[in-house]
Structure formats: structure tokens, C-alpha cells
Structure 1
């Protein structure tokens, strides 16, 4: 079951990885968390975001792009050769809480868009789907998939 949430536009720092989705994404998330912690940006209320930029059903695995992100204040200077900056478009999102395990995420993604439709919601294809990892949910072995909706 989805809940609706208005996610604000945000400045993000991110690392991009190209290749098959899976375990390597977890390693990438640890890299952004280490960088953020070393720069005093990882706080108890921080959220790490994972953004799969390509549909693996339509894109060869070796060409799939995955960004791991952290929302950062506008006044923070980003000083790491691999860390890039961008802005995340805000707006309404349908949020699904999922088990934070490989199986839990596979289950959550399976039929995700069909479930969205059955709840009368429409996917906004102009904005990316977010995997959101927040400390309070991770402590319960949970994470969220945030689908932009119209």
C-alpha cells in the first residue's frame, strides 16, 4: 500500500555507477555514506537515495546507470573528485515501504507500477523513482521506494 508524500526539490551530491544493478549498488551506497560522514554531512535525519536511471528490461546490464545520492544544503561546497552535484525535482510521490533485503526490494519492484495504477495513481515519467534509505527505517530493516506521481 502506497502513502502519498510531497518530496521537496533538493540539491543532491551523488556518485554514479554504470553496470548491472545489484551488489555493486550496495558498495556504491557505502562510498557515498563514507564520503558524507567524513565531511560532516551524514546526520541521523539524513536520507541516502538510490536512483536507477535505466530500465534493465530495455537497457543492456552493462549500460545501466545507478546514482547514489545525499541531499545536501545549498551552501555546502562539494570537494571530492567523484562526487557530482545536481538538483532533484520535487513533487508528489507514492511511497512504498519495503524490506531492506535483496529479496524484499525485488518483491517491491515486481508489479510496482501495476499496484500504482490499481490505487488510481499515475507514474510521472519525467522524474526518477527513488529508493530512500533513512536511518530510523534501516534500524527496522526497511527502506522506501518513492514513485513520482501526477
Structure 2
């Protein structure tokens, strides 16, 4: 598996939030976001979509788990719309892991990521993990797991 450290910039985001157990409803939130972004002509070769689980399901009741389906937007874009939320994601160092976008491959990736972090000189930072979907990877059914890190 390809893994490397990347310093992500801060992003301005448009997003749809799903509250409830992680699973199929997350995909529905992403589909809702994609439909909105397509109408706004944002779904193109330069688009970056992000899936951001905001809560740890091991310590948060399933009905309170929050998942944000996001698209990165330019700072100057004026897209106000009552059906969508807007916010920012602060940048920083992330361990990037390119994986096939299947539940099995993502689970297998976590089995490699955690031991890798223990020997890499980094540890997880206290920010959400991000699933990044860049246009060139999306059509090949790949995604990038972006794990926030800081030096030990």
C-alpha cells in the first residue's frame, strides 16, 4: 500500500451532514452532495470530495455519530444555499494511504496504518480522519485515507 506524509492546506467546504449510524446513510449524504455540486458545475476534473466521520463509533452512540460529505470550494465562490452547509477544515500533516474503495480494503488498510504509525515517528493528531476522493482516483474506485499526524 502506498503511504506518505502530506501537508494538506486549509480548505473551504460545502457539505451535507448525516447524523446516525455510519453506513449506507453516509453514501446517501455523498450522493445528495454530488447532485448539488453537479447543479453548481463544481463536479469536474479539479473537484476534490471528502468524507469526514466526525465521531469515533467506539465511544459515540450510533444515533449521535456525524458524517460530513464535503466538496472543496474556492474561497471566492459565492454558493449560499439553504440546502447545504459551509465550513472550513484546518490543514496540517496527514499520513496518506491510497486504497481501493471497498469496505474490505479500507478495513485492511487500518490493519496496516496503526502499526505503521507506531514505527514512523508520528502519532495520530486530534483531528478527524478524512476520506479523500480526487477526480483522477474516483473513476478508478480508489480513495485516500488521510490520517492526521504529528511528530512524536
Does the pair score TM above 0.5?
A: yes
Query: 3-state SS of the aligned residue for 2:50?
Result: strand
CA separation in 1, counterparts of 2:30 and 2:8? 21
Partner secondary structure for residue 42 of structure 1: coil
Q: Which range moves more in the overlay, 49-58 or 109-118?
A: 109-118
The answer as to whether partners of 1:113 and 1:123 remain within 8 angstroms in 2 is: no
Instruction: Give the alignment's Cα RMSD to 1 decimal.
Output: 1.5
**Separation in 2, partners of 1:113, 1:52:** 18
Partner of 2:140: 140
Provide Cα deviations, 1:104-134, integer angstroms capped at 9, x if missing partner: 2222234633332222211111x22110111
Residues 103-112 or 28-37, more deviating: 103-112
Q: What pairs with 1:45-56 in structure 2 (closer than 5 Å)?
A: 45-56=46-57
The answer on 1:11 being equivalent to 2:12 is: yes
Q: Tell me, in whole angstroms, the C-alpha distance in 2 between the residues paired with 1:49 and 1:66.
A: 10
Question: What residue number does 2:120 align with?
Answer: 119
Q: Which stretch of structure 1 is more off in the superposition, 106-115 or 79-88? A: 106-115
The answer to whether 1:108 aligns with 2:99 is: no
Q: Report the secondary structure of 1:122's partner residue.
A: strand
Structure 2 length-normalised TM? 0.90
SS of alignment partner, residue 36 of structure 1: helix
Tell me the SS of whatever aligns to 1:86.
Answer: strand
C-alpha displacement at 1:138, in angstroms?
A: 2.1
Matches within 5 A, 1:1-150: 1-110=2-111, 112-125=113-126, 127-150=127-150
Separation in 1 of the partners of 2:104 and 2:81?
33
* Deviations 1:28-50, CA, capped at 9 Å, x for gaps: 11111111110011121211100
Distance 1:139 1:2, change over 3 A: same
TM-score by length of 1: 0.91
